[in-house]
Structure 1
């Protein structure tokens, strides 16, 4: 008589937005089931369709797709019972993230890792003043734009269990990520911290009239051989988001110059938010040639 094997433990992803659906794709790529939780049924269905499209485009030879199930938070407690990892991918709102982490700590079994995918707030900031039953299992697991960019940064806080960090690093690698361990608490992790300095210096140079967006992007791409320059990338991110991140750094550190924030604030006041508003450092409402004449 064949002995039945236990069901594989699942990954639960909270939030079916741009990052949540991509993480669900990655964590299901080696046969593991994934539960995708979102308040909006429309987002759930859009996410499932998007993941199917990613799978259809995949050229990986070792993909063994696991089932992805989407639902509202009503099923969350039952889904968490069989999970080894739950990742929050809710909007970048500190109060909301704290609320979600507290709820997950109450509902998830003690052995389940609770990870935040926040790009702006490290796990130490999220847990500041928060009482959890099992604080040692909370950490940050921030990724960029999978599957195209597979980097993921794992960062704990002063009470995180080191064995859980080691486990997550191992499992990330097994699921197609390129994991990096951020060994000290760091606003912006590794990459975003360095990228923030590039953005800030770009905005400072613009505020001083050192060069135009076109000139700064052109020399940046010529020297570093990157497809886009810092102004183009900020337009993609959204200048309102750029300002929010800069304000966060300014609130957390001494000596952040105000000129970059003042410069981007004026652009926002004029309705220039980047690609999403049709105009930022460049004009996106006309032809490609018009973009470079702004």
Structure 2
């Protein structure tokens, strides 16, 4: 495997754009690709605002922030972004058919040595590995939201992922200032989300059964368990659309009705209330 100099991030949503910023801050040249020019423009604007805020709060210098932003480029062309990439992190929607098309295109466009990773939190990379034409160089590299803050990165191998791919991905995660967790076998939800899922599912049951309010359940998680935010606050932060689609993807994998999204979550999803990003989810948020 060559030394990693250039990273392509596919998807300019909250996760993709922040993963790109993390890599740029660590000194890598980064291209963020998305089919939507509007998404790319929003990502550029939001990342610039984040860096300005970080400088204002004394968390980093102006020179460091400007240098990192200068290492970021944005494009709507997957082929252009992949042409000289040493490592690709796909952070598109949690829809298998979309990911399969992306990995097939990456397999054609990226250099032969490039590792292709998916940020998916539920879909194992084995589902897209063959589409890439280089299954031994495919794995999951799952970041947590917000990627600029959270230290954990789950690296998940599938049956034919090479040890060189695993080692390179772990080393990359460490170079980004993250604490990688190696998962040796694919399982829906991997490790962290399975632990959090158990808490979330119990919180939803308690709320639906009228045992306690959303706010009181969140308060208990924070004041009794020491969590930085409650399960409902976390769902709103991640996005209820993301939580819903993850549950749907898990159900499609397992076929177990218990893995379907909770009816209370489905109701909010159907209403288009996705949490912070839409201004309303379990809580209501001021647009400012």
| TM-score relative to the length of structure 1 | 0.80
Greater Cα shift, 277-286 or 186-195 = 277-286
Match of 2:75 in 1: 71
Match of 2:237 in 1: 236
Q: Is the 8 A contact 1:13 1:36 kept in 2?
A: yes
What is the Cα deviation at residue 273 of structure 1?
Answer: 4.6
Q: Distance in 2 between matches of 1:254 and 1:105?
A: 30
Greater Cα shift, 49-58 or 29-38 = 49-58
Q: Provide the secondary structure at the position in 1 that maps to 2:93.
A: coil
- Deviations along 1:160-185, one digit per CA (max 9) or x if unpaired, are 01111111111221122222211221
- RCO greater where, 1 or 2, for CA within 8 Å and sep 6 or more? 2
Match of 1:95 in 2: 97
* 1:86-165 mapped onto 2 (5 Å cutoff): 86-127=88-129, 130-144=130-144, 145-165=146-166
Tell me: CA distance 1:211–1:258, structure 2 relative to 1, closer, same or farther (3 Å): farther
Q: Provide the secondary structure at the position in 1 that maps to 2:227.
A: coil
Match of 2:42 in 1: 46
Matched, 1:29 2:25: yes
Tell me: CA distance 1:134–1:46, structure 2 relative to 1, closer, same or farther (3 Å): same
- Deviations along 1:124-165, one digit per CA (max 9) or x if unpaired, are 2344xx444211101111101221113211112100011111
Tell me: CA distance 1:266–1:109, structure 2 relative to 1, closer, same or farther (3 Å): closer
Q: Distance in 2 between matches of 1:259 and 1:30?
A: 38
Q: Distance in 1 between matches of 2:260 and 2:119?
A: 30
Q: Distance in 1 between matches of 2:110 and 2:182?
A: 24
Instruction: Choose the corresponding residue for 2:7, options 4, 11, 14.
Output: 11
Q: Distance in 2 between matches of 1:247 and 1:102?
A: 23
| Root-mean-square deviation over aligned CA pairs | 3.0
Tell me: CA distance 1:256–1:83, structure 2 relative to 1, closer, same or farther (3 Å): same
Q: Distance in 1 between matches of 2:71 and 2:259?
A: 49
Q: Is the 8 A contact 2:11 2:90 kept in 1?
A: yes
Q: Distance in 1 between matches of 2:260 and 2:155?
A: 32
Match of 1:291 in 2: none
For structure 2, the residue ranges without an aligned partner over 5 or more in a row are: none
Q: Is the 8 A contact 2:9 2:19 kept in 1?
A: yes
Number of equivalences: 276
Q: Provide the secondary structure at the position in 2 that maps to 1:257.
A: helix
| TM-score relative to the length of structure 2 | 0.82
Q: Provide the secondary structure at the position in 2 that maps to 1:83.
A: coil
Matched, 1:227 2:228: yes
